[in-house]
Amino acid sequence: MRDVSKLAGVSTMTVSRVLADPSIVAPDTRERVMRAVDQLGYVPDLVAGSLSSRRTNFVGLILPTLTNSNFADTAQGLAEALGQSYQLLIGYTLYRAGEEERLVRSLLARRPQGIVVAGTLHTASTRRMLLAAGIPVVEIWDAPGAPLDRAVGFSNFEAGRAAARHLLSLGHRRIVAIGSEADGDRRDARGEARLQGFAAVLREEGVETGLILRHGPAPVSYAHGAAAMKLLLRDMPDVEGVFAVSDGSAFGALMECRRQGIDVPGRISLMGFGDFEVGRECEPAISTIRVDAKGIGMKTGQLLRDLIDGRDAGAPQSIDLGIEVVPRGTTALPCRASVSNQAMQGSEP
Amino acid sequence: MRDVSKLAGVSTMTVSRVLADPSIVAPDTRERVMRAVDQLGYVPDLVAGSLSSRRTNFVGLILPTLTNSNFADTAQGLAEALGQSYQLLIGYTLYRAGEEERLVRSLLARRPQGIVVAGTLHTASTRRMLLAAGIPVVEIWDAPGAPLDRAVGFSNFEAGRAAARHLLSLGHRRIVAIGSEADGDRRDARGEARLQGFAAVLREEGVETGLILRHGPAPVSYAHGAAAMKLLLRDMPDVEGVFAVSDGSAFGALMECRRQGIDVPGRISLMGFGDFEVGRECEPAISTIRVDAKGIGMKTGQLLRDLIDGRDAGAPQSIDLGIEVVPRGTTALPCRASVSNQAMQGSEP
DNA sequence: CTGAAAGCGCTTACAG
DNA sequence: CTGAAAGCGCTTACAG
């Protein structure tokens, strides 16, 4: 900057002004400065700028993993909504609360102007740091009653309930939900909430043939679904309906059925969660529960911009973007031989 | 920090030392400082630290998109190899060279200590900025003869050649490669290189029934493969072998075949590229060309650490991690009715 | 083992 | 419209 100011024959203050807001500098001065900037290939040092202005233009984002199309979509949505004004600092926890704490600490050291964190399950330390940071905090992918600060998401518990109800409405009774199991401090709290919602409906409806199957650690994906389905088919061959806590897992389960020659949805109805591209494009397309992953990112981005600029305008603490059951090709009314036979007999004169 | 030093009754310099390297401070002084840090919940300001020490501990990463499991794996591998020493600054170009230039400029303003960029196709400005930055630059996902600085990847051209050779070795002659088409400054140069490699083999072998199909803009994914396959089946119903430039696209093509009741690999051999999880877990599993996406990230991370620490030790300019053809369930020798008939007739006495 | 001084490269807040 | 001074919160480089 010093070099630029010398070359342009102005003070560094003027260079700074040209870069920040050209309109407040006289046209010919501005011209000289811009030519000098070009000539020297000068790129301003935002580290120094941030320290001086107390604005880093960073936003921190903490996700369990990016190897999940839902979270990648959320990240992309957030990046788009923040645009060029803010740079995203992304960290992965791999579903570990301890890792989250470490990440929060190291992100906070970069003095972000806002921080976005997946879920509402934090260590006490994490919670304290987040609150003490004095910046907007947005918890996403859940809809807590009392967020730390703000939240953008939906109810995972309700998603699990909706899945169970959909399968029951089809007439299935031997229905199973498959998810992951906690492993030390590694746990998918949101997937677990979906399992809980599913279990709640089983209890409410008095369905005793239902089952919750927790298999392997998070994150679940294709291979998880395949393995869980294999176990399930071995132990409960007459299963009628399956809900996987993620479309990735549902896809794996569908492929396992195909390998075993089991007709979906003819013999088993299968549904997933998340509306992943793989479920949409798959044949048959996977019935699912849609959540607006990219929308969560975009909404969070807008909210953050408003909060940072003090344009809060009484935004609600917790924004629930809702869920939507999307029946597709993998769920259907059961068409059992016995039922058909009875119907045929009944129609005989 | 001033608060901590007052509370501990030492100078800020001593606090700084305790945080940077506790062993060089007297045990009881250290104790007092650490207690003060805990009590105040002090998190050091890395922005100020970076400016002062001229070390930001940032590494920039520029990828076309994160909504592609290969790139997400590379990002995760890089993050793992860099560990807690460096924070990743990630940007997406969506395959636009102009966007890349903007991103490079804005990342460089954060003064990263190294920068990783996918591919070798840059605008002149981008090239100049990268070179002038005075930091290690690693181009990934390609193996250029003359990298800007360093490169970690493989030859996309050879990958295309390998695909064509594999399909030809199976006895197919009507073979097609499907990829994306350039759209303004939006282009997948690496996918295009794979198409070129494929085309080169067709020429070398004098196969005139082959075809290169460019459909839609990058990034290609499931829907792209389905749409391209649909067009292909309409215009060239007797196609025997298909190579999609990405496993995502190959999966979409496979699903389209299933919708149309076309047997893969019975009637058409299909192969992809990238060894995506979806191709591994799919039934039938998709034949592919494996590249070590996570390995590219990890190797790049190690290289960067060495370069930043001056432990260069004569590392080569360009590291080629190679490719590997992985035949799986979607490619097979053709088994045509006419061939079988002749064989049967031949065996008659 | 500890501290006082200087400075990293900008922006803020003031003056002219 | 432009500039000189002060300072952001640390670390470097020196001194003791």
Average pLDDT for residues B9-30, to the nearest whole number? 92
Whether A1 sits with its Cβ under 7 A from any strand C atom: the answer reads: yes
Whether A2 sits with its Cβ under 7 A from any strand C atom: the answer reads: yes
Average pLDDT for residues A4-16, to the nearest whole number? 92
Cα three-residue angle B170-B176-B180, rounded to 5 degrees:
140
List the one residue out of A347, A196, A220, A308 whose CA is nearest residue A272: A220
Cα three-residue angle A221-A222-A225, rounded to 5 degrees:
85
The whole-angstrom distance between B45's CA and the closest CA on chain A is 5
The whole-angstrom distance between A132's CA and the closest CA on chain B is 8
| pLDDT at residue B334, rounded to an integer | 74
Answer whether A87 touches B (CB < 8 Å): yes
The whole-angstrom distance between B176's CA and the closest CA on chain A is 22
* CB–CB contact B92 A84 (8 Å): no
Secondary structure (3-state) at B119: coil
- The average confidence (pLDDT) of chain B is 91
- The average confidence (pLDDT) of chain A is 91
Answer whether B262 touches A (CB < 8 Å): no
Average pLDDT for residues B229-240, to the nearest whole number? 96
Between A84 and B60, the more confident residue is B60
Q: pLDDT-based confidence at A339, cuts 50/70/90?
A: very low
| pLDDT at residue A121, rounded to an integer | 82
Residues 6+ positions from B11 with CB-CB distance below 8 Å:
B5
Answer whether A212 touches B (CB < 8 Å): no
Which B residues 159-198 touch A at CB under 8 Å? none
* CB–CB contact A87 B106 (8 Å): yes
- Give yes or no on whether B2-44 and B56-154+293-322 have one common fold: no
| pLDDT at residue A122, rounded to an integer | 87
Query: What b-and-e string marks burial along B120-149, b requiring 16 or more CB atoms within 10 Å of the CB?
Result: bbbeebbeebbeebebbbbbbbbbeeebbb
CATH 3.30.420.10 fits A156-291+326-337, yes or no: no
Q: pLDDT-based confidence at A346, cuts 50/70/90?
A: very low
* CB–CB contact A76 B87 (8 Å): no
Q: pLDDT-based confidence at A41, cuts 50/70/90?
A: confident
Measured between CA atoms, the residue of chain A closest to residue B252 is A281
Average pLDDT for residues A174-191, to the nearest whole number? 95
Residue A1 CA to D1 C1' — how many Å? 20
Q: pLDDT-based confidence at B314, cuts 50/70/90?
A: low
* CB–CB contact B222 A281 (8 Å): yes
Average pLDDT for residues B7-26, to the nearest whole number? 92
Whether B20 sits with its Cβ under 7 A from any strand C atom: the answer reads: no
Domain boundaries, chain B: 2-44, 56-154+293-322, 156-290
For residue A14, which nucleotide's C1' is closest to its Cα? Answer: D2
Average pLDDT for residues B194-210, to the nearest whole number? 96
Which residue has its C-alpha nearest to nucleotide D7's C1'?
A52
Whether A55 sits with its Cβ under 7 A from any strand C atom: the answer reads: yes
The pLDDT tens digits for A61-79 are 999 988 888 898 999 999 9
The pLDDT tens digits for B72-88 are 899 999 999 998 889 99
Measured between CA atoms, the residue of chain A closest to residue B255 is A283
Task: Check pLDDT > 90 for residue A343.
Answer: no
* CB–CB contact B278 A41 (8 Å): no
* CB–CB contact B102 A111 (8 Å): no
| pLDDT at residue A341, rounded to an integer | 38
Average pLDDT for residues B17-37, to the nearest whole number? 92
Between B337 and B39, the more confident residue is B39
Q: pLDDT-based confidence at A85, cuts 50/70/90?
A: confident
Q: How many Å apart are CA B258 and CA B252, to the nearest integer? A: 10
Fold of A56-154+293-321: Rossmann fold (3.40.50)
Q: How many Å apart are CA B159 and CA B230, to the nearest integer? A: 24
Instruction: Give the other-Cβ count within 10 Å of B223's Cβ.
Output: 17
The whole-angstrom distance between B323's CA and the closest CA on chain A is 22
The pLDDT tens digits for A256-306 are 999 999 999 999 999 999 999 999 999 999 999 999 999 999 999 999 999
List the one residue out of B129, B54, B110, B44 whose CA is nearest residue A49: B110
Answer whether A37 touches B (CB < 8 Å): no
Average pLDDT for residues B216-243, to the nearest whole number? 96
List the one residue out of B167, B166, B189 whose CA is nearest residue B179: B189
Whether A19 sits with its Cβ under 7 A from any strand C atom: the answer reads: yes
Whether B2 sits with its Cβ under 7 A from any strand D atom: the answer reads: yes
Q: pLDDT-based confidence at B311, cuts 50/70/90?
A: confident
| pLDDT at residue B156, rounded to an integer | 97
The pLDDT tens digits for A159-169 are 999 999 999 99
Answer whether B130 touches A (CB < 8 Å): no
Architecture of domain B56-154+293-322 in this structure:
3-Layer(aba) Sandwich (3.40)
Fold of B2-44: 434 Repressor (Amino-terminal Domain) (1.10.260)
Phi-psi region of B328 (alpha: psi -120 to 50; beta: other; left: phi over 0): beta
The pLDDT tens digits for B142-160 are 988 889 999 999 999 999 9
Average pLDDT for residues B48-68, to the nearest whole number? 93
| pLDDT at residue B2, rounded to an integer | 84
Answer whether A74 touches B (CB < 8 Å): no
- Structure tokens belonging to residue B86: 């460096």
Answer whether A154 touches B (CB < 8 Å): no
What is the CB-side half-sphere exposure of residue A314 using CA atoms within 13 A? 0
Q: pLDDT-based confidence at B41, cuts 50/70/90?
A: confident
Average pLDDT for residues B281-289, to the nearest whole number? 97
Whether A40 sits with its Cβ under 7 A from any strand C atom: the answer reads: no
* CB–CB contact A43 B129 (8 Å): yes
What superfamily would CATH give domain B156-290? Response regulator (3.40.50.2300)
The pLDDT tens digits for A114-155 are 999 999 888 998 999 999 899 999 999 998 888 999 999 999
